[in-house]
Chain A
Amino acid sequence: MRVGSTFNIAFRALRRNKLRSVLTALGIIIGVAAVIAMVGIGNGAKAQVEAQIASLGQNIILVFSGSTTSSGIRTGWGGAGTLKIEDAEAIRREVSGVTAVSEEVVSTTQVAAGNQNWFTRIYGESADYLDIRQWPLADGAPFTPQDVRSANKVCVIGRTTATQIYGNDDPIGQVLRVKNVPFTITGVLTPKGLSAQGVDQDDIVIMPYTSAMKRVAGGTTLRNINVQVGDANQMNAAQKQIIDLLRQRHNIRPGRDDDFTVRSQQEIADAATATTNVMTGLLGAIAGVSLVVGGIGIMNIMLVSVTERTREIGTRMAVGAHGRDILTQFLIEAISLSSVGGVLGIIIGIAAAKTIAITRHWPALISPGSIVIAFLVSAAVGIFFGFYPARKAAALDPIEALRYE
């Protein structure tokens, strides 16, 4: 009952100073909104990166030509041509649990048709590649294992390449000249959009790796081998088998470095997730600073308010308020400001995140957990920064307070 009327008293006091109450809450509103929006965008980016890595396919092991360190010289993955077609065939044949393998060569070159030309990436792959990547065709048919064996001049192209060369015309069955070699287009891929690195994944031509090696890129080595394993539990065993197999095939003595690099898709995903986690944490921390500033704003206003309302406090004590009543009143005022600010901040933060998501095409993911935490933190800010001014008010001497000018 006493607590109830203290709430009543505190709300009446807040209502008396509407503008000040709103301005004080504004600090918290902005702080909480910033936290919600920033963490939302960070989580959205993380989810997008995770989705893109998942879109590489499931249970994938990537074997890159060359090692990160080779006799002390650090080369990039795929840097030195050490993987041969026979290595891929050996993996396909000997490693248990493997369901699909795609040999990969990559080059960038100009393609042309009619009077249009376009500079794009050429991926040489096996017929399993589109299954491994879980990348269906929008139209037409994929190239076949027979096309790969015979190094036929066929290809499928991405949406961007199709639009750039053929505009609105149907590219299927048309001839695309790659380094002046005519390739027949058998299919168009469904659009995948930008990758996490901002690369347009639809700006691509995919052809049998045999054709790419013979007719486009030249050379006899693979950049990498994509290996798909049927069961996630077999990933570690398969990875180890691949390493043993390739070391044996490449005659690498024990103690020497690998001349290839094996990475599972999970490792790449973990690294990317760790990066986006750091980013989310950083955004959240910066936004958190504004929340603290908002809290200090509350403390500042409450201190001013205690000084300004000294006579009021004296009057309240004269008519029977205990020190505890005054303490509770000022504390409730501070907590009300901060938690109402918190709720408004959550609403504005969600709106801001959604607006950014729509206008900037960034994803935003607002978790219920971050909303609950933002609310609790804002209430805690009220208690923490409201306590000192409240205690100061409660400790006033009624006679002094009544006489205060």
Chain B
Amino acid sequence: MSNICLKVDNLSKRFFIRKERLTTFGLLKHLASKGYGCREFWALRDISFTLNRGERLAIIGANGSGKTTLVRILSGIYSKTGGQVEFKCDPSVVFSFWIGLNMNLSVMDNIYLFGAVHGMDRNFLKSRVDAILEVAALKDFCFSPLKFLSMGQIQWLALTVFFEGLFELLIFDETLRFLDKSSAEKSMVYFDKIANSGKTLIAVSHDMEFIKKYCTSAIWLDNGCIRRQGEAAEVVAAYEQLSNNLQES
């Protein structure tokens, strides 16, 4: 069996950005001129890399460098404009922890809903509900609407449900940014498990310590192109050096 989990070849993504405010007259004018009042914006250009099973890849870069667009294409949310993306295993995606949660539903309902979003059925979750509530420290709130909980509690609940899933390839984008110190420490236990279990991971993060600790390789994106790729520590060091230089200047 091939060791490759994901192969990306010359991946490109183009968006059309409106040049001016859309008005009826403007729309008609642009339709007539076939220009549609838009300009091209290449969010990604010729991205190529291979991800092996068990590899933990970090995607880093400044805001607007194309990190989120890249993981959205890998997750199937955006379609690509050019190139090839070949998956050998099904990815599981967590971008924003509240996606799939409903603030008006109870904690209990949200466990089933969020679980379903991440591929867990009701029977699978039924046996784990007590443990999830215990870990999330929400046993007394299981029938309260989610909107009465704090952001940190909601995020920790979502992550607790998510950690129950059995994933081969996990893609996540800045998922830990709202956690308090204690929950962040607890979630690190999960990432320790991932690191030791040989699971494959793609992480988008600005937390360089996290990347250095949990990722084996990294890609540094700059204006939609790969600026550097290689071992995580080496790429992060180069990125941090540039950031420091920019701050000093």
A binds B: no
* Chain B contact residues, CB within 8 Å of chain A: none
